[in-house]
A and B are shown apart, each in its own frame.
Chain A
Amino acid sequence: MDNQTLISCLKDKLTGFDIEYSESNESVTIEVNKTNLVDICKILKSESSLSFNMLIDICAIDYLSYGDADWKTLDATNTGFSRAVKKTIIPDPDEHYDEKRFGVFYQLLSIDHNVRLSISTFTGSDNPPTIDSVNGVWNSANWFEREAFDLMGIQFKGHPDLRRILTDYGFIGHPFRKDFPTNGNLEVVYDEEQEKVVYKPVSITTRPGVPRIIRKDK
């Protein structure tokens, strides 16, 4: 099935939903409203002309610093590398997020029709960011959603067992958010006096090797 056939087929089957279709880099992406997500997924899976029977991946994205470059020469100083160092932002727990702060991408595959589709959606201004779980539609979503919850802090409503999966026992924070420092907050060291391994604030500071530069001259 080629992309044009897929889009027309999708438009035919998904009438009544507010969906944005786009085609780029040889693949089709649909942007859906998070309130319709599960309904749309159910149709995508059950409709025989689409039959997206496999959920390949779930990827959560934090758009906080999208399009930010370190090396803006207009407000550069002569302090060398420190000008590319961003101050750590401490997230406010009561804050309402920007509507487009957190996004979730779902990669679907139809084995019957040999076609791929990605669904993109935003979690809105909820804090914590919340979206419905698709675990009831595809069982493979279970661990992918746990991962997105662990690393990005997205709550999947209706998930049977939403626990941390990749980070340490007792970990605080969601490390893949853009306001979480790459160095982390805590480090593990052996304390001679207490004769045990303890957590301490990190002793290293951020120092970028290569600044982030955006060029659009191509």
Chain B
Amino acid sequence: MTSNNLKLNFGPQHPAAHGVMRLIMEMDGEVVVGLDPHIGLLHRGTEKLAEIKPFNHSIGYMDRMDYVSMMCCEHPYILAIEKLVGVKPPVRAQYIRVMFDEITRILNHLLWLGCHGLDIGAMALFLYCFREREDLLDCYEAVSGARMHATYYRPGGVYRDLPDSMPKFEANKYISEKKVKKLNYNRDGSLLDFIKDFTDRFPGHVDEYETLLTDNRIWKQRTVDIGIVTPERAIELGFTGAMLRGSGVAWDLRRKQPYEVYNELDFKIPVGVNGDCYDRYLVRVEEMRQSNLIIQQCIQWLEKNPGPVMIDDNKLATPKRSSMKHDMESLIYHFKLFTEGYSVPEGSVYTAIEHPKGEFGVFLMSDGANKPYRLKIRAPSFPHLAAISEMSKGHMLADVVSIIGTLDVVFGEIDR
């Protein structure tokens, strides 16, 4: 450190910081020599809040962890409860979960691609990515009623079965009948038909994004050889997901420690070579294509196999409204579930899934009560952001923006 070094503050309100992050940078001219991230500006104490609520009340809080891949954050929490209680959801519910996990992965990667592009100068891409996100958010809405914070997964299955119809656009004084007809062209069938139409179109859209970026000279100048992480360092630093695979380590929980029905599905795991920003970009784009294939397989299965989507155990699942009208037991279970919740047997468990950003884990400890004793969320972006200082040293100031982008950080889950 020389006396000529300049201390520079970046954020907390900076469009390229992807949320509220403050970086204290030490600059030697335009080169970063030291970097200290200050986080916690979005700390809501979710883990503490979960301790004062019955188990089911916290599912909605999980959506707000990583608010760009909502259902994937519910998933490990639900799995942890199911493991402690010792139940397994019906196969149809498992397929629905896998399908929505993959829809969520595409949602997450689209947002990442759009914003990462925007950060380093590719404006048009952002608009295209958000166009496709809109369709997927409609799927969220159709199935749960909420575009983002779905609270759709429940211990023992999912909240309800896939709907038979899609919501449609209606004509008004701004949108003509003709325009509405065009907008509704894929909304006449069920939700599955709508998703199917999307999966048919989507590979073409990914080709469009790649045309804009993959061989783009400016894109390559901004990403190739920026933020290189060797496989050894990636493991040492606790990297998971695309950050680890970008460095060339073939590790994916969907394949290595399969949960739900991933072991019955056919998909490939893309792996990078150099471990730079460009490789991680390629890995994530290929992951979108693979997710699309998984969704198609799920649709095929779901179309052929109707069935229950929730276990038939009223200690965990809400009794049917119709049975409550004449069955005393159902009424009691309903009352108990909504006033007290269910008690989870004593013990602790760690469950993890392959979240779009990496390994999203939940450590859940119960002392036998109707509320968690301790909930710890292992957010994938947390160790990724911890490495930003090591990744950025020696790079230019502008490259720090590329590195923040490639980390795919979301402060909802880092700050919790």
Name the residue of chain B whose CB is nearest to the CB of A167: B40
Cα A56 to Cα B362 in complex, Å, equals 11
Q: Which of A19-27, A35-43, A89-97, A121-129 contacts B (4 or more CB under 8 A)?
A: A19-27
Q: B45 at the A/B interface (Cβ < 8 Å)?
A: yes
Q: B347 at the A/B interface (Cβ < 8 Å)?
A: yes
Cα A28 to Cα B263 in complex, Å, equals 23
Query: Which positions 203-218 of chain A face chain B at CB distance < 8 Å?
Result: 208-216, 218
Q: B359 at the A/B interface (Cβ < 8 Å)?
A: yes
Q: How far, in Å, is A151 (CB) from chain B's closest CB?
A: 8
Looking at the complex, which one of A53, A175, A211, A215 makes contact with B235 (CB distance below 8 Å)?
A: A53
Per-position binary interface string of chain B over residues 72-108, scored 1 when its CB falls under 8 Å from any chain A CB and 0 otherwise: 0000000000011000000000000000000000000
Instruction: Evaluate contact between B386 and A142: CB separation under 8 angstroms.
Output: yes
Contacts of A132 in B (CB 8 A): none
Instruction: Evaluate contact between B238 and A25: CB separation under 8 angstroms.
Output: no
Q: Looking at A24, A105, A166, A175, which has the most chain B CB atoms within 10 Å of its CB? A: A166
Contacts A27-B349, A111-B249, A143-B382; is A56 near B49 (CB within 8 Å)?
no
Name the residue of chain B whose CB is nearest to the CB of A138: B236
Q: How far, in Å, is B250 (CB) from chain A's closest CB?
A: 9
Q: B416 at the A/B interface (Cβ < 8 Å)?
A: yes
Query: Which positions 108-128 of chain A face chain B at CB distance < 8 Å?
Result: 111, 114, 116, 118
Contacts A166-B416, A175-B45; is A57 near B378 (CB within 8 Å)?
yes
Contacts of A67 in B (CB 8 A): 367-368
Instruction: Evaluate contact between B54 and A210: CB separation under 8 angstroms.
Output: yes
Q: A140 at the A/B interface (Cβ < 8 Å)?
A: yes
Query: Which positions 371-395 of chain B face chain A at CB distance < 8 Å?
Result: 371, 373-374, 376, 378, 382-383, 385-386
Cα A27 to Cα B362 in complex, Å, equals 14
Cα A144 to Cα B236 in complex, Å, equals 13
Instruction: Evaluate contact between A139 and B370: CB separation under 8 angstroms.
Output: no
Cα A105 to Cα B40 in complex, Å, equals 22
Instruction: Evaluate contact between A168 and B40: CB separation under 8 angstroms.
Output: yes
Q: Looking at B238, B343, B345, which has the most chain A CB atoms within 10 Å of its CB? A: B238
A interface: dominant SS:
loop
Instruction: Evaluate contact between A69 and B378: CB separation under 8 angstroms.
Output: no
Instruction: Evaluate contact between A107 and B53: CB separation under 8 angstroms.
Output: no
Name the residue of chain A whose CB is nearest to the CB of B42: A166
Q: How many A-B residue pairs have CB under 8 A?
A: 127
Instruction: Evaluate contact between A27 and B251: CB separation under 8 angstroms.
Output: no
Instruction: Evaluate contact between A56 and B378: CB separation under 8 angstroms.
Output: yes
Q: How far, in Å, is B66 (CB) from chain A's closest CB?
A: 16
Contacts of B256 in A (CB 8 A): 114
Q: How far, in Å, is A126 (CB) from chain B's closest CB?
A: 21
Per-position binary interface string of chain B over residues 35-53, scored 1 when its CB falls under 8 Å from any chain A CB and 0 otherwise: 0000110010101110111
Instruction: Evaluate contact between A214 and B369: CB separation under 8 angstroms.
Output: yes
Cα A24 to Cα B40 in complex, Å, equals 34
Q: How far, in Å, is B381 (CB) from chain A's closest CB?
A: 11
Contacts A25-B349, A213-B369; is A61 near B361 (CB within 8 Å)?
no
Name the residue of chain A whose CB is nearest to the CB of B315: A218
Q: B211 at the A/B interface (Cβ < 8 Å)?
A: no
Contacts of A175 in B (CB 8 A): 45, 48
A interface vs B, CB < 8 Å?
24-27, 29, 53-57, 59, 61-62, 66-67, 69, 105, 107, 111, 114, 116, 118, 138-140, 142-144, 147, 164-168, 175-176, 182, 208-216, 218
Q: Would you mind naming 5 contact pairs between A and B with Cβ atoms under 8 Å apart? A: A24-B347, A107-B363, A140-B238, A176-B48, A214-B369
Q: 9 nearest interchain CB pairs?
A: A140-B238, A166-B40, A59-B376, A143-B386, A57-B378, A215-B343, A25-B349, A166-B43, A214-B369
